[in-house]
Amino acid sequence: MTTVTTSADELRRRMVEQLIHDGALRSREWRAAFEAVPRELFVPSFTTRTASEPVTYREGDPGYLEAVYANSSLNTQYDEHGTATSSSSQPAMMALMVEALAPASDTLPVLDLGTGPGYNAALLSHRYGSQRVVTRDVDPALVATAADHLAAAGYAPTLTVGDGAEGCPEHAPYGALIATYGIGRIPDAWRVQVARGGNIVANIGNGLISLTLGDHGLATGRFLPTIAAFMTARATPGNAPAPARTYAGKLANADGDMHEIELPVALDEEMPRFLGALSQPDVVELSLIVEERKVYGLVHPDSESWARITPRGDGTARLDRGGPRDLWTERAPLLRGWNKAGKPSADAYSLTVHPDGRHELTLGDARRWALPA
């Protein structure tokens, strides 16, 4: 029996055609970048999740190239809890984000935060030229490995090590900034370091945002329609926050005040999670089964505040809560506003980041919410 092996070039071409078909890849320039950059040079080994379990691939393994060019996130590093801390992001998400970039000029550099394996920096280097790309990661080992990957692919952007929340002041100002990790709020350094007329493309909460720098230091923009959640930012390479599952046992057995509430929305929908993450970036959200019923949990680790919501079939729920913060009451107004507005998608919402750090969420012309710091 003859085995037919598909080449990396053919698999890359198919990936690009699929991204175009799905609407993630639109412009000629970015199509050329995705066609030119060999993703396999950046992920010689990785783990990806199938329908049943994670699978690890190494260069030369059966199915390796097919996995490289699947529309999947490829995890390349894990922390002590088994949580991924570096990956080559899902190509569709990468395409959506780079397509949203709108640099202020053809000469200013573009800042790439979250270097990881270096694939995104390579795409940016192909599109803008290596001399206009600065990439930064908090982990020096990742930066060193990415440098090797980029050199093998023929690209030489400026690589730096540091906390992405600080931007990269030594090479500012930037025409645009892209961050491929999750954040709760836009750091002030990003707004300061991007030139007027340029933009910031980032994953905030469970949404993708494109913010344009305008007059008086305001950064304003609309969310993209796609819901997405990247791995969260790390201030140091060794920072390994406890994953959500860590809190499941304590939350299931916690005793607190009991209340009866009406649920404005179904909590397992994407948009309630999107809005909840925006309203409470410091709160861990999880679901669990308690006495054969699905329960939704909220935990604020620093204050030891928690909420356990057990929905019923009639639109009501039992709320058990404890700690100094009333976590459900904090997030409920955004959920009610979304329901009252007819349950619009994420791109109906706009965000304004003020020079004093205030984040203001807007829906239409009349509904505005000040997001807590």
Beta strands in 205-283, from DSSP E residues, in sequence order: 207-213, 219-227, 257-262
Joined tokens for residue 50: 């199938």
CA separation for the pair 54, 47 (Å, rounded): 6
- Confirm whether 89 is a catalytic residue: yes
Question: In angstroms, what CA-CA distances link 283 with 67, 235, 309?
Answer: 34, 18, 15
Torsion of CA 99, 223, 264, 359, to 10 degrees: 150
CA separation for the pair 99, 57 (Å, rounded): 29
**Residue 295 burial (CB count, 10 A):** 21
| CB-CB contact of 108 with 213 (8 Å) | no
Joined tokens for residue 226: 């796609």
Candidates 89, 125, 210, 305; catalytic one: 89
Q: Which helix (H) or strand (E) holds 12?
A: helix 8-21
CA separation for the pair 371, 21 (Å, rounded): 36
Joined tokens for residue 237: 């390479």
CA separation for the pair 175, 189 (Å, rounded): 14
Q: DSSP code of 274?
A: H
CA separation for the pair 310, 289 (Å, rounded): 10
Q: Which residues are catalytic?
A: 89
